[in-house]
Amino acid sequence: MTGAMDLYTVPGCRVGVRPPTEADTTASAEAVRRSEHISRWNPADPNDLPDLIRRQGDTFRTFLVVDIAEGALAGRINVSNIVRARFCNASLGYDAYTPYAGTGRMTEALALVIDRAFAADGLALHRLEINVQPGNDASIALARRMGFRYEGFTPRMLFLNDAWRDHERFALTAEEWPGAEKTILPS
């Protein structure tokens, strides 16, 4: 497995998360192709990993979810629209890959990414949002399981699968995440 040295995990987790590398391109494309359930909610491009790698920076981060026992890609989590200053906010998006979808691995992985997002030595964010299309029960359940609270409904938020799609918005702040360091802005 490439990038194993960068794998962030905690004891008891079946998964770890790490940044993608060019060496992950083939495995990522294969994982997206075999995960047909994703396309209804997120028309993921199997060949988008090189573009995601190029976009890594101050406003966007991708984490690959790696099954520790098998060394296989179990999913992907994007932290996007990272805004600093007084906002310290970002959006989370995630895809669980077949055969790992529905096994609880994304719950573990999302907890790891949220830890990194709120950590002072990580992204040092204060607030995270998840936007989910109504009817995507698995993603809504995951957001709720992670402690995200429902904040509202956004009509026609994203253009997906040839139409503007409504989304439900969920949010979580560092104060609500157990063990998170609270972000204090410098004066």
CA–CA distance from 12 to each of 68, 76, 178 (Å)?
A: 11, 20, 17
Domain parsing of the chain, residue ranges: 4-176
Section 149-161 average pLDDT: 95
Helix residue ranges per DSSP H, 90-176 = 105-118, 137-145
Residue that wins the pLDDT comparison between 142 and 9 = 142
The verdict on whether omega for the bond into residue 155 sits within 30 degrees of 0, i.e. cis, is no
Single-letter amino acid, residue 42: N
Section 158-178 average pLDDT: 95
* pTM for this entry: 0.91
Angle at 39 between CA 53 and CA 48, to 5 degrees: 15
Say how many C-beta atoms besides its own lie within 10 A of residue 187's C-beta: 3
pLDDT at 43: 79
Among 52, 53, 98, 92, which residue's Cα sits nearest to residue 75? 98
pLDDT level of residue 29 (50, 70, 90 thresholds)? very high
22 pLDDT exceeds 80? Answer: yes
Q: pLDDT by residue (tens digit) across 80-93?
A: 999 999 999 999 99
pLDDT at 1: 35
pLDDT at 100: 97
Q: pLDDT by residue (tens digit) across 123-144?
A: 999 999 999 999 999 999 999 9
pLDDT at 25: 95
CATH number of 4-176: 3.40.630.30
Single-letter amino acid, residue 99: P
CB-neighbour burial class of residue 130 (10 A; exposed 0-12, middle 13-18, buried 19+): buried
